[in-house]
Structure 1
Amino acid sequence: MIVFAALSGFLAVALGAFGAHALKQVLSPEMLTVYQTAVEYHLIHSVLLFVVSALMLTHGHLRWLKRSALALAIGILLFSGSLYLLTLSGIKTLGIVTPFGGVSLLLGWLMLAAAGREFSRIQPVEGSK
């Protein structure tokens, strides 16, 4: 998952640069905004996925942590991937996939919260009772 997260972050930066330089004159302002949204969510969630993956190195036994990583990876692919394809191909029906990616990203965040609760049950916070 760390490799996926790192490559995803690399791709987000590369696609962001591509959009800023090559697509500015090609896409309509509306489609450029959609593309920029894809890049923004892609990059933010790649960083989050990297952090979750790093936590898995020491806390891989936490089932919600693993589930969070998987949901985030799927969300990146479906959400940002569908928006990239929509803007570059012009096929509007690809927008049908985007909400599924958004839900997957939301679930990834919720699962991360569940992992935090799971962790707090096995690791008492210093100073707490």
Structure 2
Amino acid sequence: MKTLTLVIGAVYGLFSVILGAFGAHAFRKILSPERLESFETGVRYQMFAAFFLLFVGWILKFETKSENWISWLMIFGTLIFSFSIYLLAFQDHWGVKLSFLGPITPIGGLMMIISWVMLILYFLRNKM
């Protein structure tokens, strides 16, 4: 689990930089300012998650279920949160209606929040 967390953290970081560069250049030409701002929010939170995963991958031993859940919740929460935002940002450009993703995005955000809370509780229990 440790290696998986570190690899996914690095992959999330890599794709944040790539997507951020596309957003700053290529996507600026095809997305409205509002959609581009949403897209950039997804990229920003994906990068936060990358740092989070690299941090917890470095410090946690992944010996307990709660340590594993800290990682899984951030991995899947980011996937749901950021990638639903990316899809929503492009719905006008693609000419498809993806508004059903709107209520799904906060579920990913909630998973990310729970992951942070679990990390705080881990620190309090283990007095790191």
TM-score scaled by length of structure 1:
0.85
- 1:37-116 matched pairs, under 5 angstroms: 37-56=41-60, 59-90=61-92, 91-116=98-123
Distance in 1 between the 2:62 and 2:89 partners?
A: 37
Distance in 2 between the 1:116 and 1:63 partners?
A: 15
Q: How far apart are 1:119 and its partner, in Å? A: 1.5
Q: How far apart are 1:21 and its partner, in Å? A: 0.7
Greater CA deviation, 14-23 or 89-98? Answer: 89-98
Q: How far apart are 1:63 and its partner, in Å? A: 3.6
Q: How far apart are 1:54 and its partner, in Å? A: 1.2
CA RMSD of aligned residues (A): 1.4
- Which letter does structure 1 place at the counterpart of 2:70? S
User: Aligned in 2, Cα 1:86/1:28: closer, same or farther, shift over 3 Å?
Assistant: same
Identity of counterpart residues, as a percentage?
Answer: 33
Q: How far apart are 1:108 and its partner, in Å? A: 0.6
| SS of match in other structure, 1:54 | helix
Query: Which structure 1 residue ranges, 4+ long, deviate > 3 Å from structure 2?
Result: none
| SS of match in other structure, 1:27 | coil
- Which letter does structure 1 place at the counterpart of 2:53? L
TM-score scaled by length of structure 2:
0.86
Structure number with larger C-alpha Rg = 1
Q: How far apart are 1:62 and its partner, in Å? A: 4.3
Q: Which runs of 5+ in 1 are unaligned?
A: 124-129
Distance in 2 between the 1:104 and 1:60 partners?
A: 19
Which residue matches 2:27?
Answer: 23
Q: Which runs of 5+ in 2 are unaligned?
A: 93-97
1:50-90 CA distance string (max 9 Å, x none)? 1111112xx32244322111111011100001001111234
Count of residues in correspondence between the two structures: 119
